[in-house]
Amino acid sequence: MNSIDKQKVDVVLGTFFGDEGKGKVIDYLTSKNGYTVNVRANGGNNAGHTIEVNGKKHVFHLIPSGILNEDTTVIIGNGVVIDPEVLKREIDTLKENGISIDNRLFISDSASIILPYHILKDRAQEVDRANEKIGTTGKGIGPAYADRANRYPLKVSDLVNNYKVFAINAIQVAINDLNYKKCFEENNLNEVEVSNLLCSFSKEYSEFLKPYVIDTRSKLYQEIKKGNTILCEGAQATMLDVDHGTYPYVTSSNATIGGILTGTGLSHKNINDVYGILKAYASRVGEGPFVTEEKGEIGEVIRKLGHEYGATTNRPRRCGWLDLVALKYACQINGINKLAINHLDTIGKLDNFKLCIAYNYLDQKITPQNEQFNIRNYGNYEPIYECFEGDFSLEKAKDWNSLPKSVKEYINCIEDLTETPITLIGTGPKRENIIEIEKPKVKILKPYETSY
């Protein structure tokens, strides 16, 4: 591998609990840089990536967010779990909107299939968890990844190569697994009905998927050899990662940089820029610790101003403040070298806003720098905040110089404490609502009340 290969692959990842605006940034970067390929690496239709272009809002759950750029080929990588029914609906919607996917969409033969009983089990498990719910999206993600780890025959290649054998295997798993049996009983489905359902599912979606299925890993390397560029798309985010997140309140895949590598087959040596996406505040949907959460009125105000309702489940998102200790953790784990911060317009509508710059924990202070952050203790941390002036408009802002003073102070503080530059600023939901900023030579820093 030579050094030129390394320049070809960039990555977009979420830094908190998801919904940071990854879809918007991927669409923006794809349209600006003209990536040849956009490949999605992990998760399934638990993701909801929103893009607004030419007055139209699109929400993608499985299709990579670069699809609106007609010169970009999109790939669903091997790390993704695919509900083919959802994928079919997304493709139909794209066609209705006049967006061609012919020869532009490829699906890995090594991706895995979400079966109807994975969805039943996901929902039944949540009911069984009673007061310890995870708050999953109910899309079958956990059970599908669990069956993949159990090495059941779930691969896309299994389905498209021989749908009859695929159906027989799926029926066997369904009938022999006591948990699945329980789900069928609860849904008044007998064995014959389950078998018929799995047979027709396998036949229909084997035919549907076949035209798109290839070895995407080898395609990615062919593109690199041709000198083409690739943008990798992470779903979910660092704090939801099955290893590095707030386990057990996480999703079931690696939403960090490791998941990009295993979920596409690309090598770390190919990777150039890693963009970490964040919001100027924070949100979480589902259960689990969230130390900068505002549970009262202010949380409600942020939710309303930011329209924080889930793109997949429409659930109200829990809202709070940006947390630089957690952000630094995300930068470290993922090797993030560029940050993109969305929703600065939203915090500008508040009179003032907070930024978590450290935690108190027992008799210790945990800062972004002192390497004391431990994800297992996260729920017990007490945030220490710095306050910033809000009440600004970014409507006329187009570069660093035209940003309000408090925004400059805020950005400088984030950059200083995470030791990572912010290169993109989101000022609204549309593709064009992004400002690229050049690193300022002289930094305006707030005279901090809390020294950090």
154 binds, among ligand IMO, Mg ion, ligand GDP, none (CB under 5 to 8 A by kind): none
Question: Number of residues in contact with ligand IMO, rule: CB under 6 A?
Answer: 24
Residue 390 within binding range of ligand GDP, rule CB under 6 A = no
One of 15, 16, 17, 19 touching ligand GDP (CB under 6 A): 19
Q: Would you tell me how many other CB atoms lie within 10 Å of the CB of residue 148? A: 19
CA distance 341 to 84: 33
Nearer to Mg ion, 19 or 27 (CB): 19
Query: 3-state class of 293 per DSSP?
Result: strand
Task: Name the segment binding ligand IMO (CB under 6 A); options: 70-78, 90-98, 139-147, 405-413.
Answer: 139-147
The nearer residue to ligand IMO, 23 or 383, going by C-beta atoms, is 23
Q: Which is nearer to ligand IMO, 252 or 264 (CB)?
A: 252
Which partner in ligand IMO, Mg ion, ligand GDP, none is near 66 (CB below 5 to 8 A by kind)? Answer: none
Note whether 64 binds ligand GDP by CB under 6 A. no
Q: How far apart are CA 137 and CA 430, in angstroms?
A: 26
Is residue 343 part of the annotated active site? The answer reads: no
DSSP string across 410-450: HHHHHHHHHT--EEEEE-SSBTT-EEE-PPPSS------SS
- Segment lying near ligand GDP (by CB under 6 A), choices 71-79, 126-134, 144-152, 338-346: 338-346
| Interface with ligand GDP, residue 46, by CB under 6 A | no
By C-beta, is 271 or 340 nearer to ligand GDP? 340
Cβ atoms within 10 Å of 338's Cβ, excluding its own: 16
Does residue 153 touch ligand IMO according to CB under 6 A? no
- Which one-letter amino acid corresponds to residue 344? L
Residue 212: DSSP 8-state: G
Residue with the CB atom nearest ligand GDP in the bound state: 426
Listed in sequence order, the residues at least 6 apart from 230 whose beta carbon sits closer than 8 Å to its beta carbon are: 8, 9, 10, 35, 36, 37, 38, 39, 220, 223, 224, 266, 270
The footprint of Mg ion on residues 34-93 (CB under 5 A) is 48
Per-residue b/e over 64-92, b at no fewer than 16 CB within 10 Å? bbbbbbeebbbbbbbbbbbbbbbbeebbe
Whichever of 10 and 345 has its CB closer to ligand GDP, that residue is: 345
Site residues for ligand IMO, 269-298, by CB under 6 A, read 285-286
| 399 catalytically annotated | no
Query: Is residue 239 within the footprint of ligand GDP (CB under 6 A)?
Result: no
Residue 281, beta-bridge partner list? 321
For the record, the structure tokens of 403 come out as: 């940003």
Q: What does the CA dihedral 117, 121, 122, 127 come to, rounded to 10 degrees?
A: 150
Helices 405-418 and 324-334: angle between axes, nearest 10 degrees: 50
Residue 254 binds ligand IMO, judged by CB under 6 A: no
Structure tokens at 102: 């012919």
User: Of residues 10, 27, 49, 345, which has the active-site annotation?
Assistant: 49
Choose the binding region for ligand GDP from 22-30, 196-204, 400-408, 416-424 (rule: CB under 6 A).
22-30
Stretch that binds Mg ion, among 94-102, 222-230, 309-317, 357-365 (CB under 5 A): 309-317
Instruction: With beta carbons less than 8 A apart as the criterion, state whether 104 and 67 touch.
Output: yes
Task: Give the contact letters, 297-336, x = binds to ligand IMO (CB under 6 A), - = no.
Answer: --------------x-------------------------
Among 275, 317, 323, which residue's Cα sits nearest to residue 300? 317
Structure tokens at 41: 């690496």
Short-list 167, 201, 184, CA closest to 117 = 184
For Mg ion, the closer CB: 141 or 209: 141
Binding residues for ligand GDP (CB under 6 A): 14, 18-24, 48-50, 52, 307, 311, 342-343, 345-346, 426-429, 433
Interface residues toward ligand IMO, by CB under 6 A: 14, 17-19, 46-49, 134-137, 139, 141-142, 235-237, 240, 251-252, 285-286, 311
Show which residues are catalytic: 19, 49
